[in-house]
């Protein structure tokens, strides 16, 4: 009887020990790294903790090896950089040289050859396998785009650089398509959750909801997905049928312009930017519409994403004859960010508001034929 009891106690101890070890492995990552290249003296790792806080770890490299460990209970997007002896790593240098990867709880193994930038390989993370496959697909497009990127980086004139930047669109659209296809095929991946923080501002509301509605409860509790949910809420609030959000901003002469000043009138908010030649092509049509309907009661407020290019903004207003109505700057990244209030992710976007302050039309975004639809809406509104 005593032998049987002792055996049961030992079995229980072993089971508890295994359970404890499993619990630890599910809440901690340990990254064992090997670096090929004698000039490396340390490794920097940037990632989010379990609490969603951004954190850095820096570890020395001895005999070409390093170990980094920390609490982690889910896959986490990370950036890693290998620092050479005597090298000073600035924020901009980190952004350029750091490599993306996905950490996971448990033991991880990484190998990187400093002489070959694309040689980084990490095992132990299933999420990293998916990320590597996605990275290879987008890297092909980025390689095609590299000559244009180099040309853009060499250009010192802001307006010429803006003209070059317009040529990125076909490549960027291909990358967006690759990422979106991945999101649909991997709806409950933490990679998808991370991608959607930017994609929610690049896709239509319907396309965003197509991915978001597939997220499980675990993903919906994740910080990145909560950001996506908040942006979806803004997008829905700025749809026709909702009341327009008031704002006040200074026009080209410094005079305050408020949306509330237009109560009792029809007003069209025109979100645009002087640095986008392709997006300015519709300005001529907008001027034509204004001249056609201004005596019928149409008002326009121009809102430009030109906060750091005021000279270019004023020049474009004059050249495109937009001075016939008030023009204000967007106020990007401030408490008075007008485009954020209206969930503007694409320019030009035009929002039509009726005399009660209700949004009755939204034209642009990712909507094909926005100019034609706006023209039809104004015909119906003013019975032309």
Q: What's the pLDDT tens digit per position in 285-294?
A: 999 999 999 9
- Residues carrying CATH 3.40.30.10, the chain: 248-382
279, 282, 259: which is closest to 359 by C-alpha?
259
What lies within 8 Å, CB to CB, of 241 at 6+ separation is: 358, 359
* Domain 248-382, second-level architecture: 3-Layer(aba) Sandwich (3.40)
Cα angle 37, 150, 282 (rounded to 5 degrees) comes to 145
Cα angle 80, 82, 86 (rounded to 5 degrees) comes to 140
Task: Express each pLDDT in 166-209 by its tens digit.
Answer: 788 899 999 999 999 999 999 999 999 999 999 998 888 999 99
Q: At what angle do helices 223-237 and 205-212 cross, to 10 degrees?
A: 150
Spatial separation of the C-alpha atoms in residues 329 and 310, rounded to whole Å: 8
Task: Give the pTM.
Answer: 0.80
- Residues carrying CATH 2.60.40.1120, the chain: 25-122
- Topology (CATH level 3) of domain 25-122: Immunoglobulin-like (2.60.40)
8 A C-beta contact, residue 290 and residue 300: yes
Q: Tell me the pLDDT of the chain averaged across its residues.
A: 88
Spatial separation of the C-alpha atoms in residues 42 and 64, rounded to whole Å: 9
Low-confidence ranges of the chain (pLDDT < 70): 1-26, 365-369, 384
- Rounded to whole angstroms, what are the CA distances from 350 to 197, 233, 289? 24, 19, 13
What lies within 8 Å, CB to CB, of 249 at 6+ separation is: 256, 257, 303, 328, 329, 330, 331, 336, 338
271, 283, 273, 276: which is closest to 162 by C-alpha?
276
- Residues 364, 368, 371, 375: what is their CA dihedral angle, to the nearest 10 degrees? -110
**What are the strands, taking DSSP E only, across 266-365?**
266-272, 298-304, 327-329, 349-353, 359-363
pLDDT number for residue 277: 74
């Amino acid at each position: 009887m005593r032998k049987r009891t002792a055996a049961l106690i030992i079995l229980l101890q072993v089971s508890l020990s295994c359970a404890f070890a499993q619990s630890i492995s599910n809440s901690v990552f340990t990254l064992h790294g090997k670096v090929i290249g004698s000039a490396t003296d340390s490794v920097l790792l940037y990632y989010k903790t379990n609490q969603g806080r951004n954190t850095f770890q820096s570890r020395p490299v001895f005999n070409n090896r390093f170990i980094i460990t920390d609490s982690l209970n889910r896959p986490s997007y990370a950036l890693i950089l290998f620092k050479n002896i005597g090298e000073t790593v600035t924020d901009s240098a980190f952004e350029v040289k750091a490599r993306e990867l996905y950490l996971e709880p448990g033991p991880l193994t990484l190998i990187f050859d400093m002489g070959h930038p694309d040689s980084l390989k990490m095992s132990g993370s299933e999420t990293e396998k998916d990320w590597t496959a996605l990275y290879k697909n987008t890297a092909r497009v980025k390689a095609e785009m590299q000559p244009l990127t180099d040309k853009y980086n060499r250009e010192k004139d802001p307006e010429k650089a803006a003209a070059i930047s317009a040529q990125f669109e076909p490549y960027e659209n291909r990358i967006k398509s690759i990422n979106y296809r991945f999101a649909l095929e991997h709806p409950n991946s933490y990679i998808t959750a991370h991608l959607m923080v930017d994609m929610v501002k690049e896709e239509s509301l319907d396309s965003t909801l197509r991915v978001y509605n597939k997220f499980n409860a675990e993903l919906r509790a994740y910080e990145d997905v909560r950001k996506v949910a908040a942006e979806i809420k803004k997008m829905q609030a700025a749809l026709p049928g909702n009341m327009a959000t008031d704002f006040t901003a200074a026009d080209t002469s410094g005079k305050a312009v408020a949306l509330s000043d237009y109560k009792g009138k029809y007003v069209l908010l025109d979100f645009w930017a002087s640095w986008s030649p392709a997006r300015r092509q519709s300005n001529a049509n907008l001027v034509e519409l204004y001249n056609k309907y201004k005596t019928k009661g149409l008002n326009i407020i121009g809102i430009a994403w030109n906060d750091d290019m005021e000279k270019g903004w004023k020049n474009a207003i004059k050249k495109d004859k937009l001075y016939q109505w008030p023009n204000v700057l967007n106020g990007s990244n401030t408490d008075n960010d007008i485009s954020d209030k209206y969930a503007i992710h694409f320019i030009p976007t035009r929002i039509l508001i009726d005399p009660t302050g209700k949004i009755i039309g939204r034209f642009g975004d990712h909507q094909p034929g926005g100019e034609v639809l706006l023209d039809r809406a104004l015909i119906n509104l003013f019975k032309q």
